[in-house]
Amino acid sequence: MRPVELIRSDQAIHPAVLTNQRKRDVTLRPINANDADAIHNVVSNWQVARMLAQIPWPYQKAHARAFAEYVSNATTGADSCYFAIEDGCLNFLGMIGLVELTRVPRVGFILDRRYWGSGIMSQTLDVFCKASFRQWPADRIASGVFSDNTGSLRVHEKCGFRAIGKTRTFCSPRRKFLTHIDLVLNRPTPAGQLYRS
């Protein structure tokens, strides 16, 4: 894999290119208002939506438009940042982002159901988290998955996240509380070892 740099400029991350195990070129770029239809196509798939905690269901095009417009109009110093994941043909594959940047950042992502198991998300998450540690001073990045989301749990574990507990979290699409596995990735030390809490 060739070196990847996500360059900070007023809290923005500029496009970065990486290659996953299957040699698919993948680019991260800021979300813009024109992504609304693509976001809707991905999130309105029930298999994707059921693994998310805080989205309205059914997920309508109006929801996607509001999200894309809000994200694309975020000002410098905002407490979150989101990026589109595109392949070499500019196909929208999903999104990745951080929230709560001024506290303990939380990473989240979605990937089009058609690309599950492709290796795209494991490498994207790994590169994104490494770049985030270079850009922000946080000692750790948090995340989490519902306990039945075994694919996402494997993606996190491949990138070095470890479970630190379980909570009961409401899943809006499924309209019930579910077991949620809380995860954390600690900032690497200069020697590449992880801090232990």
How confident is the model over 110-123, as pLDDT tens digits? 999 998 988 889 98
* 3-state class (DSSP) for residue 128: helix
**Does residue 194 fall inside a structural domain?**
no
**Does residue 63 fall inside a structural domain?**
yes
144 against 73, higher pLDDT: 144
pLDDT digits (tens, 9 = 90+) for 33-53: 999 999 999 999 999 999 999
Half-sphere exposure of residue 98: CA atoms within 13 angstroms, side-chain side: 26
pLDDT digits (tens, 9 = 90+) for 38-93: 999 999 999 999 999 999 999 999 999 999 988 887 755 567 888 999 887 788 99
**Does residue 163 fall inside a structural domain?**
no
CB 96 within 8 A of CB 30: no
86 against 192, higher pLDDT: 86
Phi, psi of 62, deg, nearest 5 = -65, -35
**Does residue 101 fall inside a structural domain?**
yes
- Chain centre distance of CA 120: 12
Which helix (H) or strand (E) segment holds residue 129: the answer is helix 120-135
19-35: average pLDDT = 72
Domain coverage including residue 64:
8-138
**Does residue 191 fall inside a structural domain?**
no
**Does residue 174 fall inside a structural domain?**
no
Domain count, the chain: 1
CATH number for 108: 3.40.630.30
**Does residue 106 fall inside a structural domain?**
yes
- Which amino acid is located at 79 in the chain? D
- Residue written as token pair 């990045």: 141
**Does residue 161 fall inside a structural domain?**
no
